[in-house]
Amino acid sequence: MNKNILGIDWGTSNRRAYLIAPSGACLAEHEDGQGMLAVGSRDQFGASLTGVLEAMQLSADTPVIMSGMVGSASGWQEVDYLDASVPLEQLPQYLAAVTDPAWRGRAHIVPGYVYRNGASADVMRGEETQLLGAIALGQRNGWIVLPGTHSKWVLLRDGVIVSFATYMTGELFAMLSKGGTLSSMMNGDTSDAAGFATGLTQAARNEPLSNSLFRVRAGVVSRSAPAQQAAATVSGLLIGAEFAAAARAAEGQGITVIGSPALAARYALAAEHFGLHCKVLDPHAVYCTAISQFIKA
């Protein structure tokens, strides 16, 4: 390809678009709330994509590469998962062409990955593109952590996924905040250092998570703990649960976190609490680097 490419990280709730030059430089960015759920029916994705091109003042023939939930069963077009044994650097060979006649030849979707371990399986959509960018930036080995609604802990070996595990950390936090007995206590600052540390300390004990969460409520109603720290404590518990489950495997290697500054900062604190070295990569830079790999291919 010898022209600019529009890369779109099309998630469940949000959508981010980056115009990438053949040199790999990011020429323009766009972000909106038109994630998969907001688009609605499958036949509306084409019009929604047109809206992105118009908002960014791009010509209709701009090539588009999309990753994330746009390729799920509930997205524009379901794209089969690749087996984890397929090297990430081979992703450009497996792009799925959008079959919508209006976009045929112009728009492609990046497939996700499936990891099978005996009878169990885990899947990702969108994170594989960030992993490709991380590899291009030299992160070919070790543990990559991608925090978010569904946090991923991925082990790479020479650019190949050895294993990965998903934790519903962000989704659980959102659900606990919106309903249930903890919701009325979840209005405090999630970045409260003392509350977050309390949650991490409790998570490190490896006690049942449902019991630890209830004890946050018990602490507040018994006036044993300040209500303003409850949200941060819950955040620490949920993030800490990831580390309690995965940190031992990363011991001696450390982790690389790809996440927004605020979220990456929390994971860095958790890593320190669990005795792990933590390196942080900017998710926008990683994604743009990934899209540039499709141009080079």
Establish how many alpha carbons lie within 13 A of residue 289's alpha carbon, considering only the half-sphere containing its beta carbon: 18
pLDDT digits (tens, 9 = 90+) for 97-125: 999 999 999 999 999 999 999 999 999 99
pLDDT, tens digit (0-9, with 9 covering 90-100), for 226-238: 999 999 999 999 9
**Virtual torsion, Cα 163, 108, 26, 12, nearest 10 deg:** -60
pTM (2 d.p.) = 0.94
CA–CA dist 127, 25 (Å, integer): 21
**Under 8 Å CB-to-CB from 98, ≥6 apart: which residues?**
76, 77, 104, 106, 107, 108, 109
Residue entry with tokens 């766009």: 30
In order of 207, 271, 277, the CA distances from 236 in angstroms are 14, 12, 18
Q: Over the chain, what is the mean pLDDT?
A: 95
Confidence (pLDDT) at 296: 80
For the stretch 157-216, pLDDT in tens is: 999 999 999 999 999 999 999 999 999 999 999 989 999 999 999 999 999 999 999 999
pLDDT at 67: 97
Mean pLDDT of 9-15: 92
- pLDDT given at position 40: 82
pLDDT at 250 over 80: yes
Residues 163, 134, 93: CA angle, nearest 5 degrees:
75
pLDDT for position 24: 84
Position 297 scores a pLDDT of 72
Q: Are 125 and 136 in contact (CB under 8 A)?
A: no
Tokens of 146: 């991608």
Distance CA 8, CA 4 (A): 13
The mean per-residue pLDDT over the stretch 35-46 comes to 92
Contacts of 135 (CB under 8 A, 6+ apart): 88, 89, 156, 159
Rounded-to-integer distance, Cα 16 and Cα 264, Å: 19
Mean pLDDT value across residues 26-31: 96
Q: Please state the rounded mean pLDDT for residues 56-60.
A: 94
Cross-strand bridge partners of residue 39:
none
Instruction: Tell me how many degrees the CA angle 178-11-36 measures, rounded to the nearest 5.
Output: 80
- How does pLDDT run across 255-278, given as a tens digit for each residue? 999 999 999 999 999 999 999 999
Amino acid identity of residue 185, one-letter, is M
> What residues contact residue 177 under an 8 Å CB cut-off, 6+ apart?
183, 186, 231
Structure tokens at 33: 């709330």
Report the alpha-carbon distance of residue 124 to residue 120 in Å, rounded: 14
Is the model's pLDDT at 1 over the cut of 60?
no
> How far is Cα 48 from Cα 62, in angstroms, rounded to an integer?
15
pLDDT band at 151 (very low <50, low <70, confident <90, very high): very high
- Count CB atoms within 10 A of the CB of residue 262: 9
How distant is the alpha carbon of residue 59 from its chain centre? Answer: 29
Least confident stretch, 73-87, 203-217, 283-297: 283-297
Quick one: which H or E segment has residue 166?
Answer: strand 160-167
- Taking residues 247-256, report their average pLDDT: 90
Residue 171 to residue 196: CA distance in whole angstroms: 18
Q: Are 141 and 156 in contact (CB under 8 A)?
A: yes
pLDDT confidence of residue 252: 85
Average pLDDT over residues 15-20: 96
Kindly give, in sequence order, each residue whose CB lies less than 8 Å from that of residue 180, ignoring residues fewer than 6 positions away.
none
For residue 295, name the pLDDT band (cuts at 50, 70, 90).
confident
Which bin fits 8, alpha (ψ -120 to 50), beta or left (φ > 0)? beta
Rounded average pLDDT over 38-59: 94
